[in-house]
């Protein structure tokens, strides 16, 4: 395993040694504002007749608007659990099974529920698999970088932060968020420009993980990496020509994993900011994996090296 260079020069500021490792911060909890559900006879009144739906405006699906469209049972359930404000839920007429329990949770929060024909949901989702339910929720908020750093500082495990350099595919971003949540990493950093934002497609691809992973948007990835170095992090980037195999670099300390664009990889300036460049073995005919898969491999290699189990 490659040992880190000049480890004495990368001491985190404001910390007194390795015992103050970084890990996942306090768990997000609900808002605490849950109210008692309406009486049974009122429940039926919360289900608005289907004929009225066509006359009501449908909220925008853009993440920059006041509402975000979330499709599918698991993403909607995670939105309910996260405490994010849900303005309205559309459910297919006659929907049963796990959706019944989900709607019970929504009624307990006094969320408006509208029963509509499944064809209406097909139209709204533009053919995507909505599983009989669509919710309109307050747009996902980005956090400041300091929030991610604080979460890492305030927990017993070494910090683990993912920096994405111009990831453009929403399915890749959603997959990455799912893996980040899976290993308990502390946050994701994306650039404000030339990168996919947090959209409904990202939320669906993340299977609800978007509700639990802090995401920061920064104006300059390169400068942010330098800031993270000053905070005591070692920066490991991915590159098809990396000098080390992915498992040869020490990932047990505070680590930043940098993942490049799906087609171009890491930018040259960002590469120069990395302490190490690692590669994944490719024995077949293709030269690289997609960003979501590559990130998942590196995240779980980090977990393996740290010996963390649940």
Domain layout of the chain by residue ranges: 40-138, 141-306
> Is residue 92 within 8 Å of residue 131, measured between CB atoms?
no
Q: What Cα–Cα distance (Å) separates residue 50 from each residue in 116, 129, 265, 305?
A: 5, 20, 48, 54
CATH class belonging to 40-138 = alpha beta
Specify the pTM.
0.70
On the question of a common fold for 40-138 and 141-306, the answer reads: no
Q: Exposed/middle/buried for 119, CB within 10 Å: 0-12, 13-18, 19+?
A: exposed
Distance CA 200, CA 120 (A): 18
Report the topology of domain 141-306.
Answer: Alpha/beta knot (3.40.1280)
- Can you give the pLDDT of all 310 residues of the chain as single tens digits? 655 655 445 654 433 333 333 344 444 344 343 434 444 443 433 333 333 333 333 333 333 345 788 888 888 988 888 878 898 999 998 888 888 888 988 999 899 999 999 999 988 988 788 889 999 988 888 999 999 999 999 989 999 999 999 999 999 999 999 999 999 999 999 999 989 999 888 988 998 899 899 999 999 999 999 999 999 999 999 999 999 999 999 999 999 999 999 888 999 999 999 999 999 999 988 888 899 999 999 999 999 999 876 6
User: Residue 246 contacts by C-beta under 8 Å, 6 or more apart in sequence?
Assistant: 238, 278, 279, 280, 297, 298, 301
């Amino acid at each position: 395993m490659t040992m880190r260079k000049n480890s004495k020069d990368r001491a985190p500021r404001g910390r007194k040694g390795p015992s103050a490792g970084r890990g996942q911060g306090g768990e997000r909890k609900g808002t605490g504002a849950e109210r008692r559900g309406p009486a049974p006879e009122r429940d039926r009144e919360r289900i608005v007749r289907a004929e009225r739906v066509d006359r009501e405006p449908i909220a925008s699906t853009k993440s920059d608007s006041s509402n975000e469209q979330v499709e599918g049972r698991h993403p909607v359930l995670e939105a309910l659990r996260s405490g994010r404000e849900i303005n309205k839920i559309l459910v297919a007429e006659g929907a049963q099974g796990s959706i019944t329990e989900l709607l019970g949770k929504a009624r307990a929060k006094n969320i408006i529920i509208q029963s509509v024909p499944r064809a209406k949901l097909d139209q709204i989702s533009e053919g995507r698999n909505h599983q009989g339910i669509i919710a309109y929720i307050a747009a996902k908020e980005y956090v400041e970088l300091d929030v991610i750093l604080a979460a890492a500082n305030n927990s017993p495990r070494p910090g683990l932060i993912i920096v994405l350099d111009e990831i453009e595919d929403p399915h890749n971003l959603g997959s990455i968020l799912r893996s980040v949540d899976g290993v308990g990493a502390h946050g994701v950093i994306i650039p404000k420009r030339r990168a996919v934002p947090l959209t409904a497609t990202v939320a669906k691809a993340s299977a609800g993980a978007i509700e639990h992973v802090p995401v920061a948007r920064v104006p300059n990835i390169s400068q942010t990496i330098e800031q993270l170095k000053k905070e005591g992090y070692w920066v490991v980037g991915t590159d098809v020509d990396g000098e080390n195999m992915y498992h040869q670099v020490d990932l047990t300390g505070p680590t930043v994993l940098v993942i490049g664009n799906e087609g171009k990889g890491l930018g040259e300036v960002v590469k120069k900011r990395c302490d190490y460049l690692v590669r994944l073995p490719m024995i077949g005919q293709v030269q690289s994996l997609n960003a979501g898969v590559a990130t998942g491999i590196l995240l779980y290699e980090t977990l393996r090296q740290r010996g963390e189990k649940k």
